[in-house]
Amino acid sequence: MKFAVIVFPGSNCDRDMYHAAKEILKEDTDLVWYENSNLENYDAILLPGGFSYGDYLRSGSVAATSKIMQQIKDHAAKGKPVLGICNGFQILLEAGLLPGAMLRNKNLAFMCHQEELQVANNSTMFTTQYEAGEVVRYPIAHGEGNYFCDESTLADLQKNNQIVFTYKNNPNGSVADIAGIINKEGNVLGMMPHPERAVEELLGSADGVKLFQSIVNNWRETHVVNA
């Protein structure tokens, strides 16, 4: 399987994402500068955390208008996996690939610590290695991680089982304790916590490995069936 880690000006978690896919999973992985828009030969797209374009206007808003985003949208439309973490999640929201928006944390402060999450949906291509309701520990690192959507959108997310991760102790004020959501088609996941920073016990948790392993396993199963 071949991963592309998209690097924007201001990305700072791209090496963590690369390490998770390349060094932990031993999969073919490239760091792809945002101006290089040919993603045709990649099987999965990873949008890392950081402060793309310095978070000017709104977090992720400028990156969402960059040329490479059309390639990412085309990639998603083909059913290929797209994972956005932290700033990557913000970019997916701004680009319209996921519903909702991000607000400032309820305490108006940047937060950086470990959080316990619950796996609310373990039937996605990103979570099949987890048990339903499993509690995992991922770090968070954000100032604008307060997920918001209107009541109608929340009802749709709940009805369609699109809420994938929830906070056990909501740190930022996110509606319905949401930490991560998926699109209706099930191939675009956005989340604020950092599974790529939870891939070795030395880091305080290895719970994130299962997320990346889920992507690889589901991709291989699909391609073996279609081979």
**Residue boundaries of the structural domains of the chain:** 2-226
The pLDDT assigned to 222 comes to 83
Q: Catalytic residues, which ones?
A: 86, 194, 196
DSSP 3-state of 30: strand
The pLDDT assigned to 58 comes to 86
Give CA–CA dist 89/133, Å, rounded: 22
Give CA–CA dist 8/136, Å, rounded: 29
The pLDDT assigned to 49 comes to 97
The pair of three-digit structure tokens given for residue 37, joined into one six-digit string: 């828009």
Whole-structure pTM value: 0.96
The pLDDT assigned to 224 comes to 66
DSSP 3-state of 86: coil
Residues 6+ apart with CB under 8 A from 151: none
DSSP 3-state of 84: strand
The pLDDT tens digits of the residues spanning 178-227 come to 999 999 999 999 999 999 999 999 989 999 999 999 999 999 988 765 55
The pLDDT assigned to 37 comes to 72
Report whether 127 contacts 182 (CB < 8 A): no
The pLDDT assigned to 56 comes to 81
Cross-strand bridge partners of residue 103: 146
Q: Which of 193, 191, 187 is nearest to 45 (CA)?
A: 187
Low-confidence residues of the chain, pLDDT below 70? 224-227
Pick the CATH number of 2-226 from 1.10.10.10, 3.40.50.300, 3.30.1330.10, 3.40.50.880: 3.40.50.880
Pairing outcome for strands 44-47 and 82-85: parallel
b/e per residue 38-60 (b: at least 16 CB within 10 A): ebeebbbbbbbbbbbbebeeebb
